[in-house]
Every structure is written in C-alpha cells, then in structure tokens.
Amino acid sequence: MKRNFISAAFAALVCLSCGVSMEEKAHDLVSQAGVAYEAKDYNKAKLLLDSVKTAYPKAFKARREALRLMRNVELGEQQRSVDFLDKELALLTQRRDSMLGGFVLEKDKRYQDVGNYIVPSQTIKNNIGNTYLRAQVDENGNALLTSVYRGRALSHDCVRVSAGDVYAECNTPFNKYSSKHLGVTTERVDFRYMQDGGLMQFIATADMPITVELSGKTKHKYRLRSEDARAIADVLELTTVLQAIDSLKSLRDEAGRHIEFLMRSKERFENDSIGSAE
C-alpha cells in the first residue's frame, strides 16, 4: 500500500515537472517571436507563434501570451502595408498632378458629379465639322473612346484601326447618338476602354500611320491625325495612373478597416485578461 502511494506521488511529480518544462519551452518560443516582432520580421514571428499551439497545446499560459503577441504582429503587418501604400499613393498622386497640365477638365457641376479629362486639341469646340476619334477619361479612371463622324448618314457601329497588316476592331459600342442639321448627319459611337477590342491600346502603341474604317450601312475610311493618336495615348496613360490610384486607395481602406478590427479584438482580449486575473 505504501509502495503504491510512493509510486503515485512520483508519477504526479514527473507529470508536474513535464508541465513546467512544457511552459518553459513554449515561453521560449514566444520570447523568440517577440524578438522577431521587434525586428519587424513578422513572418518569422508568426511561424514561431503558430508552433507554440502545435508543439505545446497544453502550455496554456504561453499560448495566451502567444495570442496577445500575434495581435501585435498582425497590427504591425497591416501598419507596414499602410505605410507602403501611403508612399505609393503619394508618388502616383504627384505623377497624376504633373500630367493634368496637359488636359482640360470638362465638368458642369449642375449636372455632373464626376468630370472628364480631355486633351485640349480634342475638345468639341476645336473639332467642329471634323470626323475623328476622341478619347477622354473621367476623374475615377473610366476611359471612353468616341468615334465622331460627320457627313452623309452612315449608321456606323463598327470601328477598325489598322497600321500596315495589323488591326484592331470593335463592333459592340455601349452607346450611340445621331443627329442631323442642315443636311449633315453627326454620329457619335462610344466604346468603353477594355471593352473596345483593343482600339485605344492599338492606337497608343502603333509606330505607323493609322487608318480608321467606320462600318455601318456603308463604309468610310480616313487617316487618323497624328495629334489625335498622341491625345489617345496620353489619355490611356492618365487612365492607367488614375486606375492605379483608385486600386491603391481601396487597398489602403481595406488595411485601415483591418487595423480597426484588430484594435477592437486586442482591446477585448486585454479586457478579458484583466477580468480573468481579478
């Protein structure tokens, strides 16, 4: 009986010493993760903290420390992302502002919440009576290519641009408008960028004179003016910058929301810890 009691006590002592050893080893991992966190090596810190739960599932004190530190690590990651995005946004905004000197903003505040940037040579007042391709991009980065035709009624809905043996074509406009004045028909056919069959990209990158062919009930061909090709290329470049700014702003907002969530989670965790200690 006495021998059984001693054996049981020894077994309990062994278990106790194992438990202490577990906590110490787990705490050591948390300490290493803390060093990595201070060095802003967040990936290493997360790997170490994840291993605490995996290797020492019953080291409850260390696991609680690991959870607390993990929130700080995630906050550090998100703040680093915010800092990076802020720098990129500042650079892109500076680039956008330097480009806007080559554009005019067409915006009637009585009817429009969002205005359109257009190269001065392509404004309507500078092209009265002209047949041409006009490009514009709104303040949110949505670009539009418009085929403007004046002459005998054509009813065109297809635009093909070619340079040598290569071409781009689109016959799916999202908007068409036609009017007639003093026997002259004016047709405007709009194509959204990225739904334009590559028309804008083709014009912006072509290194040869471009021929434009309009197709409807009949066909009409003309040579694209070099100033119009340059204007379309400029609009496409501004579009790329504006879309990049919009994308970065979305990522910045998402990171900000994540930080707010982590801060609330951290506060709840700390309040729960205080309540448990009391």
DSSP 8-state code for residue 225: P
Which structure tokens are listed for 214? Answer: 């309009």
**Per the domain annotation, does 126 fall within a domain?**
yes
Which pLDDT band, with edges at 50, 70 and 90, does 273 fall under? low
Other Cβ atoms closer than 10 A to 274: 9
**Strand ranges of the sheet holding 175-181, from the earlier edge strand across to the other edge:** 104-106, 116-118, 132-138, 143-151, 184-192, 175-181
Find how far residue 91's CA is from the centre of its chain.
15
Do 112 and 238 fall within a single domain?
yes
Residue 74, classed as helix, strand or coil, is helix
Query: For residues 131 and 151, what is the distance between their CA atoms, to the nearest angstrom?
Result: 8
**Strand ranges of the sheet holding 211-215, from the earlier edge strand across to the other edge:** 166-170, 158-163, 211-215, 219-223
Cβ burial, residue 106 (10 Å; 0-12/13-18/19+): middle
**Per the domain annotation, does 257 fall within a domain?**
no
Final residue in a domain of this structure, among 97, 118, 133: 97
Tell me the pLDDT of the chain averaged across its residues: 89
Q: What is the mean pLDDT of residues 11-40?
A: 74
pLDDT over threshold 50, residue 73: yes
Do 79 and 16 fall within a single domain?
yes
Which pLDDT band, with edges at 50, 70 and 90, does 8 fall under? very low
DSSP 8-state code for residue 41: -
Final residue in a domain of this structure, among 81, 97, 113: 97
Do 235 and 189 fall within a single domain?
yes
Find how far residue 221's CA is from the centre of its chain.
39
Do 161 and 176 fall within a single domain?
yes
DSSP 8-state code for residue 193: T
Do 110 and 235 fall within a single domain?
yes
- What type of residue is 214? L
Q: Are 191 and 170 in contact (CB under 8 A)?
A: yes
Which pLDDT band, with edges at 50, 70 and 90, does 6 fall under? very low
Query: For residues 204 and 79, what is the distance between their CA atoms, to the nearest angstrom?
Result: 38
CA atoms within 13 A on the CB side of 250: 7
As for how many domains the chain has, the answer is: 2
**Per the domain annotation, does 266 fall within a domain?**
no
Q: In this predicted model, what pLDDT tens digit does every residue of 232-272 receive, in sequence order?
A: 999 999 999 999 999 999 999 999 998 998 888 877 766 65
Label the pairing between strands 175-181 and 184-192.
antiparallel
- Return the top range by mean pLDDT from 51-60, 129-138, 263-272: 129-138
Task: Measure the N-to-C terminal CA separation of the chain; round to a whole number of Å.
Answer: 42
pLDDT at residue 265, rounded to an integer: 80
Higher pLDDT, 134 or 60: 134
